[in-house]
Copies of this chain bind each other. A is one copy, B any other.
Amino acid sequence: MRVYADISVSLDGLVAGPSPSLEDPLGIGGMQLHEWAFRLAAWRRPHGMEGGEEGPESRWVEEIAESTGAYVMGRRMFSGGAGPWDGDPNANGWWGEEPPFHAPVFVVTSHAREPLQLTGTTFTFVTEGVDAAVAQAREAANGRDVQVAGGGSAVRQAYELGLLDELQLHVAPVLLGAGAPLFVDATPSSLDLVETIATPQATHVRYRVTRR
């Protein structure tokens, strides 16, 4: 089993555009970072949508999901940018009644909350930080991989805490110019390329993290 981060970034290293809002949680232009996924059958199926491209990229996304036994995410990824259950204590995240994970998800938050059971996915809210969430996810993954799914802050913290075995980036062919950078004064390290798939929509790279 390995702990890996999985996140989409722009060519200028941003995970969201400028001026994020409740209506536009990824900021101006930020949705472009994820367009590579929306068209894939492997993304559409778990999101309850039909059709989409099959082929190597889609199969690869499917294999990643199959190898993953638990997820860790930040609070804003769960809530879509909103102060999540402040207004609505039963907020279910922005995926609706059947989230795409079909695996335990650990949400890092400062607001304690009872676990949320939806169809196929249980969200557990962890108030002790990213390291505690990753530890719980490792336990729950039952030998399969743990994905730190975003946002940028959760991935950055996991990296800085030395929790990541691998870093998987989906680099979208877009310059956003301003917004939220993935890496900010990162601890230097060298990485080993594990695999890569490139399409016009994104360059997918997976690296093993080797701390210097």
Contact = CB atoms under 8 A, between A and B. Distances in A.
Given A174-B189, A189-B174, A190-B173, A205 B198 contact: yes
Nearest to A159: B175
A190 B203 CA distance: 14
Contacts of A173: 190-193, 207
Contact of A198 (B175, B183, B196): B196
B13 A188 contact: no
A16 to B, nearest CB: 13
Interface residues on A, range: 20 to 34
Contacts of A13: 12-13, 183
A212 to B, nearest CB: 8
Given A174-B191, A183-B175, A191-B11, A198 B200 contact: no
Given A176-B186, A176-B188, 18 more contacts: A11-B167, A11-B191, A11-B207, A12-B182, A12-B183, A28-B188, A173-B193, A174-B189, A175-B188, A175-B190, A177-B183, A177-B186, A177-B188, A193-B198, A193-B199, A193-B200, A196-B196, A203-B205
